[in-house]
Chains A and B, each alone.
Chain A
């Protein structure tokens, strides 16, 4: 029997993505390595940051290394600490990228980079009203995710662990509850360290995983990108195929009858 690879595409706000892995563009050893890692990851959506142009110094453009005919750009509002700054950055990102999608970050604490719930909700409401497709980076809190979806977020992106920490999914039960309750796609964003973390997120039912440092910071980012692609696919298939229940005691896999000498 051929495996039924029911890997249906990821759909957010009516837009279809072939890959459930979304990757970042920051912190790679070089733009060339980033480009190779993107190809190996299979991702068709990447995040980018919005920053001041360096007037005094000509730098290579990131966009020379992203094939935007194949890869969708998702501008973020990283390093914004107020709703107003995030809204301002989102508007600039829309003009720079000519799309109305935004990965919305409103950060509440420098050390943990945990989101500021109040600011995030406020900015989501304003940007949704302005016609943005808002994907908020949020705490792994089912109630907050529900409020964001009610405010019009096109997806919710709960963290697995602090950004760049590589700690893996710290609160799997919350991710599972968020998936069960949410009426919008759930993308686990941040905290992945290695492939098994991405697989865990997908096995919990996440619709996708977003990561940057886990790939960019690996000793071999291109190989890790491939590992992540496989992990996301494996986790998705495992989720869809319905895992066996957990039991405390053994159940034999081989027949108990016909044992030699019995």
Chain B
């Protein structure tokens, strides 16, 4: 199945929790924020929020800015 991850198509083997998706991407969950279908996912909900086929996911972090 395919999700839209940060604007690009991304294949996942089966529906994944946000925690599992971040682990698969080797991203430290403490330093990012995740939006799932336009709603921000609270860190406490990373295990319970399930990403499935056709979903849109944004993963952001802090970068240099003014």
Contacts and interface: CB of A to CB of B under 8 A. Distances in A.
A49 B33 contact: no
A83 interface: no
Interface string B1-16: 0000111101000000
Contact of B60 (A28, A73, A76, A92): A92
Contact of B62 (A27, A75, A88, A91): A75
A94 B6 CA distance: 18
Contacts of A58: 26
Interface size class of B (residues with CB under 8 A): 20 to 34
A93 B43 CA distance: 13
Interface string A81-122: 000000010011111110000000000000000000000000
A55 B6 contact: yes
Interface residues of A, number: 37
A78 B62 contact: no
B2 to A, nearest CB: 14
B33 A92 contact: yes
A49 B5 contact: no
Interface in B31-61: 31-35, 38, 40-43, 58-61
Contacts of B31: 61, 63, 96
A213 interface: yes
Given A52-B7, A93-B33, A26 B62 contact: no
Interface in A204-236: 210-213
Q: Which of A48, A53, A91, A213 has the largest number of chain B CB atoms within 10 A?
A: A53
A26 B58 contact: no
A62 interface: yes
B57 to A, nearest CB: 10
A214 to B, nearest CB: 10
A92 B64 contact: no
Nearest to A89: B60
Contacts of B62: 48-51, 62-63, 73, 75, 93, 96-97
Interface of A: 24-28, 34, 47-53, 55, 58, 61-63, 73, 75-76, 78, 88, 91-97, 163-164, 190, 210-213
